Structure formats: C-alpha cells, structure tokens
C-alpha cells in the first residue's frame, strides 16, 4: 500500500457515491438543477485520480504489482459503473450499449491475466489510452447535457437521444481499440489458444 495505490482505491470508492448521488440526490439535499454540477465534481475527481495514480507511482518509484492490477480494474469499474448509472432516469441510456464496454474489458482483462499466468506480459496500447479519454469525454458530455435538461431547455427524449449518440461513439471506438489490441497481440492470443487446445487434447 502506498500513495499511488491509495489514489487508485479512491477512484473505486467514488464509484458507488456517484451512483447514489445520481439516483437518490433528494436524500442528500441536492436539487435536480444542482445534480449535474455535483456529478461533474465527482467525475472530475475520479478522472484526476486516474491521472494522478500513474504519475505518483512513477514520480516516487511506487510501481507495484498490486498497482498494475488495481489501476485497469479501477478504470473498468468506475467508467462502466458511470455508464450503467446513466441507464436510469433522466438520461435513460439503452443498457445494451453498456454491454459493449463490459464485453471489451472482460475479453482484454481475461487475455492479459491468462498471458501473465503463462509468463508473458501484454503491454498497454496507445489505442487503450485514447479509449479511456474518449469514454471520459463521453461521460462529461452526458453530465453536461443534464444541465440544460434540468433547466427545461432540453427535453427528456432529446437528452436520451444525444446521450445515446455520444456514448455510442465511445462504444464504437471501444470496440475498435479492442480489435486493434487483439490484432497487435495476435501471436500471444494464438499461443494461449494453442496451449489450451493442447491441454484439452491431452
């Protein structure tokens, strides 16, 4: 446990807070008009922690195996949870869209874990880092769209339409980044599949 890991854990801790504030904001004394601004703050802290933990780990030489596991896990948990939260009113994203993010992260995480167990590490790709930025921007846009909606300038149907379009773009890039990752690491993928088939045959 170190400072960088603590920041990563903070990101995981913020995930249920974002969900509860979104769904139960009247319990916290937050009006519908004030909700988007509170969500923007929570989302901003979460994304800053994503930048901060990596910087702190490198700056203070605190790169650990635990951190390498927790960081991508925290990214998946926080961003997928945010998009799942948006499937509820007032945004009402179609839940089928969220499965794109879940499937991509599940496949890549499983592949990286299996490869690690077999003694070779799959490096992070630039496309994966861009994917994180695209997803973060999409989340900020959706929360931003909630502001004119809360003020009566954007209808519920338009909020849902523009939010779905925004997250849909992020979903398309998420799939593309996953395909690029698998293609770039295809020799490792083939090695894993070949090893698995050999064991099954034996």
Q: Are 162 and 85 in contact (CB under 8 A)?
A: no
Q: What is the pLDDT of residue 157?
A: 97
Q: What is the pLDDT of residue 195?
A: 67
Domain ranges in the chain?
1-75, 86-195
Q: What is the pLDDT of residue 36?
A: 98
Whole-prediction pTM: 0.91
Rounded distance, CA 149 to CA 76, Å? 28
Return averaged pLDDT per consecutive 10 residues of the chain, 202 residues in all.
84 94 96 97 94 81 74 88 97 95 91 77 81 96 98 97 98 96 87 66 54
Distance of CA 66 to CAs 27, 61, 69, 97, Å? 36, 14, 5, 31
Q: What is the pLDDT of residue 132?
A: 92
In total, the chain counts a number of residues equal to 202
Q: What is the pLDDT of residue 114?
A: 81
Rounded distance, CA 88 to CA 22, Å? 9
Task: Report CA 12 to chain centroid distance, whole Å.
Answer: 11
Nearest to 158, CA basis, from 82, 81, 90: 90
């Amino acid at each position: 446990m170190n400072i960088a890991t603590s920041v990563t854990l903070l990101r995981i801790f913020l995930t249920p807070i974002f969900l509860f504030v979104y769904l139960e904001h009247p319990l916290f004394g937050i009006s519908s008009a004030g909700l988007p601004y509170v969500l923007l703050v929570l989302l901003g802290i979460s994304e800053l922690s994503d930048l901060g933990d990596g910087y702190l780990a490198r700056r203070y030489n605190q790169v650990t195996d635990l951190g390498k596991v927790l960081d991508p896990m925290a990214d998946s948990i926080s961003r997928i949870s945010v998009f799942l939260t948006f499937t509820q009113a007032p945004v009402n994203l179609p839940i089928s869209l969220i499965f794109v993010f879940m499937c991509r992260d599940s496949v890549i995480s499983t592949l990286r874990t299996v490869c690690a167990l077999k003694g070779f590490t799959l490096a992070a790709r630039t496309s994966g880092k861009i994917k994180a930025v695209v997803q973060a921007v999409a989340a900020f846009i959706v929360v931003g769209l909630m502001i004119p909606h809360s003020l009566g300038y954007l209808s519920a149907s338009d909020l849902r339409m523009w939010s779905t379009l925004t997250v849909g773009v992020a979903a398309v890039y998420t799939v593309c980044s996953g395909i690029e990752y698998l293609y770039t690491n295809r020799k490792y993928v083939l090695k894993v599949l070949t090893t698995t088939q050999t064991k099954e045959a034996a």
